[in-house]
Amino acid sequence: MAELGKALVRRGPGQGQRRGKRIPQVPGFAPWPGQGSPKREGKALRGRVPRSMHAGFEAGAGRPDPVAAVEESNRTRLPELVPIRVGRMTASPFAFLRGSVGLMAYDLARAPLTGIGTQICGDAHAANFGLYGDARGGLVIDLNDFDETVHGPWEWDLKRLATSLVLAGREAGASEAVCADAALDAAGSYRRTMRLLAKLPALDAWNAIADEELVSHADARDLLGTLQRVSDKARQNTSARFAAKSTERVEGDDGSVGRRFVDAPPVLRRVKDAEAASVAASLEEYLETVSEDRLPLLGRYAVQDVAFRVVGTGSVGLRSYVVLLLDHRGEPLVLQVKEARSSALLPHLPAAGFKEPQSAHEGQRVVGGQKRMQVVSDFLLGWTTVDGLPFQVRQFRNRKGSVDPAALTADQLDDYARMTGALLARAHAHGADPRLIAGYCGKSDKLDVAIARFATAYADRTEADHASLARAVKEGRVAAETGV
């Protein structure tokens, strides 16, 4: 079993640029030193792709069958967990959207595109925003799921967010007008935030809209009570609390005292010794991916136990472990070691005019995308390899909390839409020059209206897709396990 405190050999700093040589251009950014006007370039794109073109959606003749698409996405997952994933997807059209990233990417790749790229979440639905803890114990609110992150079209994230808000509103029983307004306000908040960031000095824009200013910026005051309740709950959502509920005290043959996970199938189960040893041994590679200043901290912990834990909706069926570590006082730290597959968006990027990137390690792709998009990231993020498969590593139960968008009232849904739209713009501005996107979005609400119309039309399509899957389950053509 690997020792967490093992010393690492680091590569030396990279060589700098030669004097007078231009620094290579980064995709989505203006050349440095700057040339031209990104704002004018963005505005000029309206002539080629009018903002009104983003409205509506019609499925093409070659569109994949939704049931076949779900089955294909399940093909490389653990077979015994696939029925759980299908069961969760059949719970509602919103749940179906959460599990059908690749199908929506197919559709979006054939929709109008500006060609402007940035680091995108790839799965920016309304439930993938939330609270989490920073290194000092404070709470941050931001995007918090990056399994599908790639460099791709900014519109894909915005359209997925807007569609998810319509579906969440419908699930909550909101009127069609309320649902459409939520999509409209998400797009409007995205546009206004991007314009604000475009006007700020670059360094100020990078760190703009601190969490304490977010509610005011997004005019989300009706959401204050909900955010406070989620914050209070998140502060209790820690490794210590999880360990207290999910582990038991054990005594070794030598009289030592430790803890181990307790089976709670099918969500949490113990694994065989060989499997646990492989996961624990992979932490040696993980240490090579963590910032060196974190190593003394991690070196104060010892691995105690490993268990398998089912997570999420889209992630069900992937290999996901929790690793229990204890310090010298027996206080726990739980790490999640989660399989990182290639992004479901990758096959669809060429059709959208974007190069399909080749990732040396899928865990590194996820971690790199997360760090690029978030203002503050988990300070123990890293990646590793277990039995030849790539994994990401992060803290588990790091004071995480989330708002259930399908449980919000009409006034709260509208506020949540504005808040998430602003957060998405801030994240995108870390991967592209905000002046370029803001130049395209403009001052008027033309883009907002188009995105809202798309969201309503695509929500209708998703409801039909969900009905197809539910029918396949009812007829016994697809196995599903509900209530898990």
Residues 298 and 319 in one domain: yes
The yes-or-no verdict on residue 437 having pLDDT over 50 is yes
Tell me: pLDDT of 21 over 50. no
Same domain, 91 and 130: yes
* 103/174 same-domain check: yes
Confidence of residue 16 (pLDDT cuts 50, 70, 90): very low
> 19-28, 411-420, 462-471 — which is least confidently predicted?
19-28
- Does the pLDDT value for residue 264 go beyond 50? yes
Looking at residue 135, its pLDDT comes to 82
Q: What is the C-alpha to C-alpha distance for residues 27 and 432, in angstroms, rounded to an integer?
A: 8
Boundary (domain end) residue, out of 359, 376, 395: 395
Model pLDDT, residue 29 = 60
The answer to whether position 188 is within a domain reads yes
Instruction: Determine the pLDDT at residue 358.
Output: 76
The verdict on residue 2 lying in a domain is no
Is there a single domain that holds both residue 229 and residue 153?
yes
Whether residue 331 sits in one domain with residue 314? yes
Domain membership flag for residue 205: yes
Dump pLDDT digits (tens) for 338-380. 999 999 999 999 999 998 777 789 999 999 999 999 999 999 9
Task: Clarify whether residues 225 and 258 are in a common domain.
Answer: no
Both 310 and 370 in a single domain?
yes
Q: Are residues 428 and 327 in the same domain?
A: no
Q: Are residues 380 and 409 part of one domain?
A: no
Q: What distance in Å separates the CA atoms of residue 374 and residue 360, rounded to the nearest whole number? A: 22
The reply to whether 302 and 435 lie within a common domain is: no
Q: Are residues 263 and 164 in the same domain?
A: no
φ, ψ for residue 101, nearest 5 deg = -60, -45
The verdict on residue 186 lying in a domain is yes
Mean pLDDT (whole number) for 463-484: 95
In a domain, 7, yes or no: no
Question: Which of 224-228, 337-341, 470-474 shows the lowest mean pLDDT across its residues?
Answer: 224-228
The least confident of 30-44, 143-157, 428-442, 460-474 is: 30-44
- Confidence at 9, pLDDT banded by 50, 70, 90: very low
**Is the residue at 229 inside a domain?**
yes
Tell me the C-alpha distance between 274 and 279, whole Å. 9
Q: Pick the more confident residue, 13 or 121.
A: 121
Average pLDDT over the chain reads 91
Which of 54-58, 106-110, 275-279 comes out lowest in average pLDDT? 54-58
The dihedrals phi and psi of 286, each to the nearest 5 degrees, come to -55, -40
DSSP-assigned letter for residue 7: -
Whether residue 312 is predicted with pLDDT greater than 90 in this model: the reply is: no
Q: Regarding predicted confidence, which is higher, 254 or 421?
A: 421
Radius of gyration of the chain (CA): 23
Domain assignment present for residue 31? The answer is no
Interatomic CA distance for residues 394 and 156, integer angstroms: 26
What's the pLDDT at 457? 98
Question: How many Å is the maximal CA-CA distance in the chain?
Answer: 76
Residues 244-269 have a mean pLDDT of 88
Q: With 50 as the cut, is the pLDDT of residue 17 above it?
A: no
Collapsed DSSP state (helix, strand, coil) of residue 136: coil
Q: What are phi and psi of 481, to 5 degrees?
A: -125, 115
Q: What does the pLDDT read at residue 425?
A: 97
Q: Which amino acid is at 479?
A: A
Number of domains in the chain: 2
Burial of 22 (0-12, 13-18, 19+ CB in 10 A): exposed
Question: Which residues constitute the domain of residue 217?
Answer: 38-115+126-235+403-474
* 146 & 213 share domain: yes
CA dihedral 404, 407, 411, 417 (to 10 degrees): 30
Q: What percent of the chain has pLDDT over 70?
A: 93
Q: Is residue 3 assigned to a domain?
A: no
- Which pLDDT score is estimated for 15? 31
